[in-house]
Chain A
Amino acid sequence: MTASPTTSKDVQTVSGITVRLAGDSGDGMQLLGTQLTNTSALAGNDVATFPDFPAEIRAPRGTRAGVSGFQVRFASEEIFTPGDHLDALVVMNPAAMVTNLGDLRKGGILIANEDGFNEKEFKLAKVESNPLDASVIEEVYRVIKVPMTALTREAVAAHGLSQKIADRCKNFFAMGLVYWLFGRSLEPTLRFIEDKFGKKPDIAAANISALRAGWAFGETTEAFGESYQVEAADLVKGTYRNMMGNQALAWGLVAASKLSDKDMFYGTYPITPASDILHEVTRFKNFGVRTFQAEDEIAAVCATIGAAFGGTMAVTASSGPGIALKAEAMGLGMMLELPMIVINVQRGGPSTGLPTKTEQSDLLQCMFGRNGESPLPILAPRSPGDCFDIAVEAWRLAVECMCPVLILSDGYIANGSEPWKIPDVSKLPKIVIKHPEGGESDAPFMPYARDENLARPWAIPGTQGLMHRLGGLEKEDGTGNVSYDPANHQHMTDTRAAKVSRIAERIPDQDVYGETSGDVLVISWGGTYGSCHTAVRNCRNAGHSVSHAHLRYINPLPKNLGELMRGFNKVIVPELNMGQLRMLLRAKYLVDCIGVNKVQGKPFAVSELFEAIESHVSTAKDGKSKADVRNKAG
């Protein structure tokens, strides 16, 4: 294979680029985006991505509902979000253009597949006339019209493919052009094509021709006088790979299973955006992973509990609607005090809601959505790569406490990606699990005896002398026999709650970005980390007294959090819900919190958070009293 060509045009070095690729859902935009991401990561840039799918698999072609987008930011500095405003936008048709143009910054580059702009497409996109012809567009943006379909057909003509198949190569043409514009190497994508289409050499060859033609077009057309270069980012030393959130969860689970010397059982029922975890873990059968695609979510979680009873590392995952179905069984898991992991990759709700869009609105569902007093530990990853660590940590806590542990991810993290520093496996701490050994002793076995973490022994079927019966009926402490004794129920309820709350003693104190007291503290959780962190950084750069605490442990909360909150005049809690963490914080600490809330199926833009935080800084300064004075009761 020939090496990537080098450009003879001028190259301008910039610190970062945000580009969005948008087209019809059949145009291969996700593939293009993933390739650009990988290639940029391999070039040493820090990357962050935001894929945006239509809800329908094949929404009517050419319509606004069918637009599929993929946003990538790659930079020579550390970044935490895929960016608010686009430097470049590639659109394959009018629908993609009108739905995305609003995000392109003034002076940004708009690359349009001219061939996708015709009367038929205007009708489908519900536009009166060609949006590319609007004079204001040319004034505000650098518009580059490329007849991609025609050029692609020409480029692949020699391969003798049908026109339909030839036209499908146009995303590789677009890719080639984008690669030229941003000085990306063709190498990784050439390898990808060979891998993916190896069995269909004519298609592989055509895609390669299209890719190279796109690159050559950039090099020869007069529309571009220069291309851009983003230098490698200054990341911590090590070996990296690009990582998506769901993939990192899957890898974290497999790692946890290896670190605890346990085979894994993964029981689930397909649901967006959690399904990709199943697709990933099922590849790991040689790691001892057994996957069970159940008839529904209830079967999935129950089979998971069955596997846990048998002594296996047991995991189930779903999204909000499926978690709703799992609720009764999660209560049982808690009553049985068996270790397992329940993952909720949140999406927009309620009900079927916005399946392909992100939201953080299942927090209270996971906190309280079971009958009875049923507290469970909850962890939330903050970024795609963090999913790995959270999965390992969740399993460690599950076996330490002998109870189900919830992981709250979301669609934004699940499908987003970032560079991930590959850990040295030999240095990852082992997760030690001891099953009681049993024997022929006549002493009755106490399945609900407790250790220092209030965990009961994980005695597994097959062990002599430890025969016991578990069930959802209340247990007598120690013996585990069914008990209706009022005092015992109180005691067991208290014990289960204490077992969870005591985790706070064993997790790290909440860390803070910025000072530990001041005008404003921003508290966030989950996938809004990047936007919140960047917005706070920008506020601090603007000279404001703003700090940031990002929670990865949500139940229990870190034990210093209340004190931390009281050190600030104002506490701001941005969430992609209508104020769920805020409600918990106010209830627990009696400290007022200000919400920044939205549920639009989209992540926070850094700028909107910056404005929201900044608008409170001056009043926080004027604030006569600190939060703890206003809230003496706390």
Chain B
Amino acid sequence: MNLPVLKAADFASDQDVRWCPGCGDYSILAQMKKVLPELGVPREKTVFISGIGCSSRFPYYMNTYGMHSIHGRAPTFATGLKSTRPDLMVWVITGDGDALSIGGNHFIHCLRRNLDINIVLFNNRIYGLTKGQYSPTSSEGQVTKSTPMGSIDHPLHPLSVALAAEATFVARSIDAHVKHLGETLKRAAEHKGTSLVEVYQNCNVFNDGAMAYAQERKQRAENVVELEHGKPLIFGTNNDKAVRLVGNHLEVVNVADVPADDLLIHDEKEMNPSIQMMLARMRYPEMPEPIGVLRAVQGIATYNDQINDQVTAAKAKKGEGDLQALFNSGDTWEVA
């Protein structure tokens, strides 16, 4: 078949994009438009489903099918859609408040079911749309409109939650690191099963610079380690630092100080998520924060395949359902 070659612009809808100037959402939108043509999935087979929040306006800006749903529930709409229409490529767009606060329950269950969809979680560690209250990912002590004396909630970490739910694909990227973001989205799309990509997204209006340590090019090298399967976790402006496993914890070492064998080699395919969980728990400023794919395990059945396989199996076993036969089954009697 001759598929028309699509460009990023083909995925833009005719709607004006209305995020605040400077918002990190723009960059994610741009990368998405760039990546989609590379996937070879026709626009009409692509569906974006979002919850509520600034980021959740995303589907309006894509010239695909889309649904802007209700707060926190996007994964559930995706579940109904993908279960009945496995032929579609379904993306869920959500925010940290949307996915982890009101939608925490659905987030976990979607991941553990391993529905074959892609979740992109825009994490700006704040509620943008409702104008600046702290979110489940806000740091302790963070002063916001709703926490004038500082937040007393212990933050929730999406990657840890996802790994705890035994998600089969867990990754992180950064709005400002466009190349990395594009590649990560692409890998997520190619994964069979639920893929979660947390994207550090700057809300320059209500939480500007909260993740500058990772977003700004100058700081990034020191504070972020880019994961690559089969490679050691080396980082630093001069690639002079690395992470190694000592006993049951990770520590940062100077590459020059330790034998190469000592360094932790990243294994995204390891079924046991223990070390991946350690990576998810590396946090600034004590540790460099990992970006890239923490976990990508294959061969775990997807919810959509299984729900449809059962239908196929039932038809094979009992034959295509026959209403009249059903009605007449069991005990019946005649009134003459």
Residue numbers of A with Cβ under 8 A of B are 38, 41-44, 188, 232, 235-242, 251, 254-255, 258, 263, 265, 267, 284-290, 292, 294-296, 298-300, 302-312, 314, 328-329, 332, 336, 422-426, 438, 444, 461-473, 481-482
**Contact status B66-A285, CB under 8 Å:** no
- B180: A residues at CB distance < 8 A: none
Given contacts A288-B321, A307-B83, contact A329 B70 (CB under 8 A): yes
* A-B contact sample (11 more), CB < 8 A, given A286-B321, A309-B67, A336-B67: A236-B335, A238-B334, A240-B335, A241-B327, A285-B310, A299-B105, A302-B80, A304-B80, A422-B332, A444-B14, A471-B59
A286–B329 alpha-carbon span in the complex (Å): 15
Chain B's closest residue to A262 (CB) is B84
**Contact status A287-B321, CB under 8 Å:** yes
**Contact status A310-B81, CB under 8 Å:** yes
- A469: B residues at CB distance < 8 A: 13, 48, 59-60, 62, 65-68
**Contact status B323-A467, CB under 8 Å:** no
- B65: A residues at CB distance < 8 A: 461-462, 467-469
B87: Cβ under 8 A from any A Cβ: yes
B43: Cβ under 8 A from any A Cβ: yes
A255–B327 alpha-carbon span in the complex (Å): 10
**Contact status B66-A470, CB under 8 Å:** yes
B319: Cβ under 8 A from any A Cβ: yes
**Contact status B334-A254, CB under 8 Å:** no
Contact of A284 among B81, B83, B321 (CB under 8 A): B321
- B331: A residues at CB distance < 8 A: 38, 41-42, 188, 241-242
- B47: A residues at CB distance < 8 A: 461
B157: Cβ under 8 A from any A Cβ: no
B326: Cβ under 8 A from any A Cβ: yes
- B69: A residues at CB distance < 8 A: 302, 305, 332, 471-472
Given contacts A239-B328, A471-B60, contact A286 B311 (CB under 8 A): yes
A188–B330 alpha-carbon span in the complex (Å): 10
Closest-CB distance, B257 to chain A (whole angstroms): 49
Closest-CB distance, A299 to chain B (whole angstroms): 4
Of residues 79 through 133 on chain B, the ones whose CB sits less than 8 Å from some CB of chain A are 79-85, 87-88, 105-106, 108-109
B76: Cβ under 8 A from any A Cβ: yes
- A235: B residues at CB distance < 8 A: 335
A-B contacts, 26 listed (Cβ < 8 Å): A38-B331, A41-B333, A44-B333, A239-B335, A265-B83, A284-B326, A286-B314, A288-B311, A288-B315, A292-B79, A294-B109, A299-B79, A302-B69, A302-B76, A306-B80, A309-B77, A309-B80, A310-B80, A312-B84, A336-B67, A422-B328, A444-B14, A462-B87, A467-B43, A469-B66, A471-B69
**Contact status A470-B80, CB under 8 Å:** no
- B320: A residues at CB distance < 8 A: 286-287
Closest-CB distance, A421 to chain B (whole angstroms): 8
B73: Cβ under 8 A from any A Cβ: yes
A409–B124 alpha-carbon span in the complex (Å): 45
Chain B's closest residue to A465 (CB) is B44
B324: Cβ under 8 A from any A Cβ: yes
- A304: B residues at CB distance < 8 A: 80
- A285: B residues at CB distance < 8 A: 310-311, 313-315
Chain B's closest residue to A299 (CB) is B76
A306–B69 alpha-carbon span in the complex (Å): 10
**Contact status A425-B321, CB under 8 Å:** no
Closest-CB distance, B305 to chain A (whole angstroms): 12
Most buried by B among A238, A464, A469: A469
Residue numbers of B with Cβ under 8 A of A are 13-15, 42-45, 47-49, 52, 59-60, 62-70, 73, 76-85, 87-88, 105-106, 108-109, 307-308, 310-311, 313-315, 317-321, 323-324, 326-328, 330-336
- B79: A residues at CB distance < 8 A: 292, 294, 299, 302-303, 306
Chain A's closest residue to B14 (CB) is A444
Chain A's closest residue to B318 (CB) is A286
- B334: A residues at CB distance < 8 A: 238-240
- B321: A residues at CB distance < 8 A: 254, 258, 284, 286-288
Closest-CB distance, B317 to chain A (whole angstroms): 7
Chain B's closest residue to A328 (CB) is B70
A468–B311 alpha-carbon span in the complex (Å): 30
A426–B13 alpha-carbon span in the complex (Å): 46
A13–B37 alpha-carbon span in the complex (Å): 80
Chain A's closest residue to B62 (CB) is A469
A241–B328 alpha-carbon span in the complex (Å): 8
Closest-CB distance, A556 to chain B (whole angstroms): 27
Given contacts A306-B80, A307-B84, A462-B44, contact A290 B311 (CB under 8 A): yes
**Contact status A463-B44, CB under 8 Å:** yes
Chain B's closest residue to A267 (CB) is B80
- A43: B residues at CB distance < 8 A: 333
A299–B14 alpha-carbon span in the complex (Å): 31
A254–B60 alpha-carbon span in the complex (Å): 35
A237–B333 alpha-carbon span in the complex (Å): 11
Given contacts A254-B323, A292-B83, contact A462 B45 (CB under 8 A): yes
Chain B's closest residue to A300 (CB) is B76
Closest-CB distance, B56 to chain A (whole angstroms): 9
**Contact status B73-A314, CB under 8 Å:** no
Given contacts A240-B335, A303-B77, A307-B80, contact A286 B319 (CB under 8 A): yes
A424–B324 alpha-carbon span in the complex (Å): 7
Given contacts A251-B327, A481-B15, contact A306 B77 (CB under 8 A): yes
A471–B105 alpha-carbon span in the complex (Å): 22
A41–B320 alpha-carbon span in the complex (Å): 30
A312–B328 alpha-carbon span in the complex (Å): 27
A306–B311 alpha-carbon span in the complex (Å): 19
Contact of B330 among A241, A265, A295, A311 (CB under 8 A): A241
Chain A's closest residue to B332 (CB) is A241
